[in-house]
Amino acid sequence: MDEIDGRLVPKHNFHLTLVFLGNQDAQRIAEIQSIGDAVSGRPFNLSLDRWGYFEGPRVLWLGAIPPLACVALADGLSSSAGALGLEFQRRSFVPHLTVFRRVASPPKAFRFEPIKWTVRDFSLIESIPEKPYQLLRTWSLK
């Protein structure tokens, strides 16, 4: 990878967000976990072979063109969360892996080796600023 003026995300925090639920009431955790129980999908392959930059949060990311199985999983999770009446910001699904945060400015070019990723499961992860991510539950794709 090229040198970037920013903070490298530790590998143990690498993830691809399918649906970002934001702040939710902890008392609804069982309901939130039921979303994963209600959604099924099959394993799929991703090729993280492109990069991009989100100006607002100032992050550099690696991305992929998602296969239909990936899009269906993200859509199913989002629909199930909405059906529970959860309030969350619905965003366009842009499958990406954040690799740098607090990037001063987007690079003109960024060289990296593409990453081949076979996705066999998905997880519910709690993210609290300045704390390690907390894995709450994982579901297998079959």
Domain regions of the chain by residue span: 7-140
23: DSSP letter: S
pLDDT band at 118 (very low <50, low <70, confident <90, very high): very high
Q: Reply yes or no on whether the pLDDT at 142 is more than 80.
A: yes
- Confidence at residue 2, expressed as pLDDT on a 0 to 100 scale: 65
- Confidence at residue 1, expressed as pLDDT on a 0 to 100 scale: 62
User: pTM above 0.85?
Assistant: yes
Pick the CATH number of 7-140 from 2.40.50.100, 3.40.50.2300, 3.90.1140.10, 3.40.50.300: 3.90.1140.10
Give the pLDDT mean for 11-18. 92
Q: Reply yes or no on whether the pLDDT at 128 is more than 90.
A: no
Q: What percent of the chain has pLDDT over 70?
A: 99
Q: Reply yes or no on whether the pLDDT at 38 is more than 90.
A: yes
- Confidence at residue 3, expressed as pLDDT on a 0 to 100 scale: 79
